[in-house]
Structure formats: structure tokens, C-alpha cells
Amino acid sequence: MTTSESKVVIIGAGVFGLSTALHLAKGEGYKDVTVFDYQPYQDNAYNPSEGCDGASADVNKIYRCTYGDETEYQDLAFSGRPIWLEWNEQIAKSKPEDLPKGLTPETKLFVPCGFYRLAVGPQLSAYDQMCLDELEKAGLREELHVKKNAADMARLAEKDKADPSTHWLEKISVFDNFQGGTLDGFVDTVAGMTYADKSCAWARYLCEKAGVKFILGPEVGKLDDLIYEGEGDSKKVVGLKTADGKEHKADVVVVACGGWTPSVLPDLNGALEATAGSVATITIPKERQDLWDKFSPEKFPCWGYGLTGHVSPEYGGFYGFPITPEGKIKIGYRGRKWTNYQTHPKTGQRLSVPKTKYTPDKAVNLPKKAIVNIKKVVFELFPELRGIGITDTRMCWYTDSVDNSFVIDYVPGYNKTLFVASGGSGHGFKFLPVLGKHVKNQLEGVQDQFTPLWKFRKAVPGEHANGLEEGENSGRNLASLELADVSDWVWAEPGEVKIEEDEKSNGVLNGLVDKVKSLVVS
Ligand SMILES: Cc1cc2nc3c(=O)[nH]c(=O)nc-3n(C[C@H](O)[C@H](O)[C@H](O)COP(=O)(O)OP(=O)(O)OC[C@H]3O[C@@H](n4cnc5c(N)ncnc54)[C@H](O)[C@@H]3O)c2cc1C
Ligand SMILES: *[C@@H]1O[C@H](CO)[C@@H](O)[C@H](O)[C@H]1NC(C)=O
């Protein structure tokens, strides 16, 4: 069993790898923890515009505590919040020269802008109600504010009165023009947004301070193969070989490769599947200060629409963020997640592997279905943005488990020398400060509330398994889908939504169409 004397190697420096390394090494902890990643994160600082394509290397992610009746995750999210705030403070108190690349003392990793969960109808969904019930049991119901509940709205008004900078009433009014303001929903005032790339850069810095070694780069940090010893019952992993040909010894190898995990470890076939979420960015021009103001995190919340109880599987499941300091508004669509089935070069098995802007087989645009749905929802929710058009898109790779719970356990058959920490299933980011505490428990064989949830498990043939049972003939495999092109990014196609004349004539649209073209060729 793994102990603080063990030589631990972690492959993957995303949220799962970083949080694990941090919790192993901190304090009087593990002395010998090494993290490998083929991304040169010391240079690109997790910036998604600079070659990073892991799920964690992103502009922003939602932090929420409402988790329906999955109270283990609810509690875990809450337990991380004070640390997110403490990290903000530590950064604010730091000297600029002491901070890792990409951060300044002004950087906030967590912005408590709230999360507006918009219902799909005039009533809350059963899931929404479950969120309210569970927070009530936890004594935290007062943090949730239901739009159609007068007492909740009065409490929200009180919060604004106590601190006018919170603008909660403004935040719960942002969808009042959508469907005549008939939809219910609630604002979660403990929720907010994390700046993802900066948070990872900070966590990596904390790891280094705690003594974790990083071996990063396309050759030196890339896992080529694990090194195995023995046969049958005594088979074990004793280290890894990297792409530069070097061998590295280890007592235990933790695979935390996000969407790449199933292709790195064929043993995980049937346990995890890489699927892509669709993300679009709308960059607001400097001259539109009205929009910069409206979408600022002070006045505009993170939001979700149709995330559960989908309007229809083809249309439902949208979320979005306030504007970033660079002027980007990010909108995501997860009503349908895409797969990219390929033949594994070593095992010959068919499995879904990530395809991004930066992989050798490049993803240049989203499936047209995703763009059409994003345009539809943006047109309805934010008519003021339709004159600008989409300025960038990204496929962001989830690692889905059979039930959306993480997979954090020893891989059977290697006498506790091979461990997997993955299966983020689209909701792992918020746990960056605390996840590793429980990964450490599983590594050390200490039972906790997550042991049964995170145990190694596979899809059971014939049973629903979160899409993993569908295989490549699911109708969502990229090879069988029509992909969008840049002309799909504007709301100007004949037969589609018309652009208002005045928006066209102010030049914003024309300017952006040119910008969009230049983005695509660069
Ligand atoms: C579109 C989208 C939206 C999301 N939104 C949210 C949200 O709002 N809130 C939230 O809490 N969570 C969200 N998530 C989930 C969250 O991003 C993930 O759960 C989390 O980032 C996963 O971290 P990871 O470390 O498992 O994977 P990753 O971040 O993908 O990291 C894997 C790492 O492994 C490295 N790697 C891969 N192969 C190798 C190899 N052979 N050798 C060496 N290194 C390798 C990669 O370079 C990468 O750095 C979202 C995810 C997606 C895709
Ligand atoms: C598993 O590893 C332990 C040492 O950690 C060893 O004592 C035991 O014999 C191993 N089991 C097998 C079946 O090889």
C-alpha cells in the first residue's frame, strides 16, 4: 500500500494530478512525488490560446455547491470554498515577482458572482427542487434565492442593501426579457466562477513549494509506456518510459490524463470515455462599453439553462459566464457530447480520443448542430450579442464515467502499483483545492465517503451507462457529423435570424467578420 515513503509518479498535471500532488506533498507529507505532462506548463501557464487543450486549461469554470441529492459532492464543493477565498488573499498579498507566470497580485482565482440556474418552464424542475431541499437540510437554504419566491427575493434585496456592490437583484433579472420573464429559477449566492488557467498555474506553484517535482514538455514529460514486471497475480507497474526514451522508476503510478486516460490505459475501456463539450466565445469589442458593463462579473452571474430536464436532448444544456478581463463571453453547450472513435495504435481497439486545435489530427470547428443550438439560445437569451457573432470555438474534452462520478482507485490486476484518478465527467474543476485530500485516502486505503462512489467500475452490458454503452454508432461520433465553418458563426445567413440594420451599420459586425477570418487562418 502507498505510504509517505513511497515513490509516487503522477501522469497529467490537470486538476486531478495537481490536487493529488499537492495533498500528498504538503506539510510533513510525501517526499518523492513527480508529475509528468507533455504540456510545457512552465512556459504556457495553462493558457488555452497557447497550445493547451486539457479540460483544466481553460478560461473559466463554474463553481457551484448545488448538486441535487449528491450530497458528497455538495459537501466537497463547500469545503473547498474557504480555500478558494484564501488563495485569492494569498495572491493579493504576494509580491509580483513571487507569483507564477500568468498571475499578478490583482488576479482573483475565484469570483463570487453567483450562479443563476434558469428553469426550463414556469416551475422549478425536480432536480432544482432537490438542490433546494438538500441545502435546506445542510442549513444553507438561505444562500439560494428562487425567483418566484417573495421571501427569497426580499432576502436578496437585503443582501444588496447590506452590500450594494453585489447587484444580486440585477443578476436575477438578466433573463427577464426571455419568454416574457415567465421562467422560474434560482440564484445561488455562494457560487461563482473560477479562472481556470490561472488556478492551475497557482496550484502548480503551490505543489512546487511543497516539494513536488515536475517533468514537463513534449518529449521529457510525455508518457510513452508504463513499465511492467511479473506475470499473472504478481504483475505490477514499476515505472514509466517517456517519449525521450528515459525510464523513471516508481512504487506507484497515478494516471490522471483527463480525456486521454482511456487511450493511455487500455484497462479503462468500458470505465471511461472521452467526449467533447462544445464551447463558443463571443469577444466584445472595446467600444461596446455598454456590453462590458452589462456582462461584468459584478452585475452578471454564471448561468445554466436546461442543464437537467433538457428541453430536448438535441437542444438542452447550456451554460455561460460573465465577461473576462480580456472581453470574452464564454457559452457552453452540453446537450449532446461528441465522440471521436479511432483505432488504438497499440491494442487495435476502437475508442474515443480527444481531437483539439492542437492534436495532430486537428479539430477546426464544432459540429454544426452545436453551433446552431448555441446560436439559437444566444439569440433568445442575449439578443444584444447577435450582432457580434461567435469569435472562437473549442472542443473541450470530458472524461465521462458510467455514472458521472469520478474514478479514483487502484486499477485491478497490478497489486496496488497502478492507480487512476480521472472521470471528471464535466464537473471536476471546482474541487481543485480539496480533491487530492480524498485521492490520498484512496491511495492509502483509508475508507471515506468517496470510496464507494469512486471505486473502479465498468459499464455493465445491457445497462444504461451515461452514453458509454452507445459506442461509435451513437450518432454523435465526429466522423459522421457535419462540421460548422466560420460562416456559421454569424447570425447573418439567409433564412436564419436576421441582423438588425442598425447593428450592421455601426460596423461592429463587419469588423468582427474580418477578425473571425484572421483568427481562423492564424
Ligand atoms: C467543456 C467543459 C466544461 C466544464 N465545465 C466545468 C465547470 O464549469 N465546473 C467544473 O467544476 N468543472 C467543469 N468541467 C470539468 C473539469 O474541467 C474537469 O473535470 C477537470 O478539468 C479534469 O481534470 P483532469 O486533470 O482529469 O484532466 P485534464 O485537465 O484534461 O488534464 C489531463 C492532463 O494530462 C496530460 N496528458 C495526457 N496524456 C498524457 C501523456 N501521454 N503523457 C503526459 N501527460 C499527458 C494532458 O496534457 C493534461 O494536462 C468542464 C469540462 C469540460 C470539458
Ligand atoms: C503484492 O505486493 C506486496 C508488497 O507490497 C507483496 O508482499 C505481495 O507478495 C505481492 N503480491 C503478489 C501476488 O505478488
The full set of domain ranges for the chain reads: 8-61+196-271+403-458, 115-189, 273-400+483-492
Give the angle subtended at the CA of 299 by the CAs of 295 and 304, to the nearest 5°.
Answer: 70
For the stretch 135-142, contacts whose Cβ atoms lie closer than 8 Å and that sit 24 or more positions apart, written own/partner, are: 135/65, 135/66, 135/74, 138/71, 138/74, 138/75, 138/78, 140/65, 140/78, 140/190
Quick check: 188 and 141 in contact, CB under 8 A? no
Does the pLDDT at position 503 exceed 50? no
Quick check: 236 and 423 in contact, CB under 8 A? no
Task: Please state the pTM of the whole predicted model.
Answer: 0.94
Q: What's the pLDDT score for residue 473?
A: 87
Q: What is the C-alpha to C-alpha distance for residues 127 and 134, in angstroms, rounded to an integer?
A: 11
* Residue 394: strand, helix, or coil: strand
Q: What's the pLDDT score for residue 364?
A: 87
231 Cβ closer than 6 Å to some ligand 2 atom: no
Q: Residues 8-61+196-271+403-458: name the CATH superfamily.
A: FAD/NAD(P)-binding domain (3.50.50.60)
Q: Which residues line ligand 1 (CB under 6 A)?
A: 11-17, 36-39, 54-56, 61-62, 221-223, 256-260, 264, 277, 279, 332, 396-399, 422, 424, 426-430
> Which residue, judged by its Cα, is nearest atom 27 of ligand 1?
258
Q: Residues 273-400+483-492: name the CATH superfamily.
A: D-Amino Acid Oxidase, subunit A, domain 2 (3.30.9.10)
pLDDT digits (tens, 9 = 90+) for 56-95: 999 999 999 999 999 999 999 999 999 999 999 999 999 9
pLDDT band at 492 (very low <50, low <70, confident <90, very high): low
Residues 426-444, mean pLDDT to the nearest whole number: 98
Q: Of ligand 2's atoms, which has the minimum distance to the CA of residue 1?
A: 5
pLDDT digits (tens, 9 = 90+) for 243-253: 999 999 999 99
232 Cβ closer than 6 Å to some ligand 2 atom: no
3 Cβ closer than 6 Å to some ligand 2 atom: no
> Which residue, judged by its Cα, is nearest atom 26 of ligand 1?
258
pLDDT digits (tens, 9 = 90+) for 377-421: 999 999 999 889 999 999 999 999 999 999 999 999 999 999 999
Q: What is the C-alpha to C-alpha distance for residues 354 and 361, in angstroms, rounded to an integer?
A: 9
Take residue 379 and report the three cell numbers written for it: 439569440
Instruction: State percent of the chain over pLDDT 70.
Output: 92
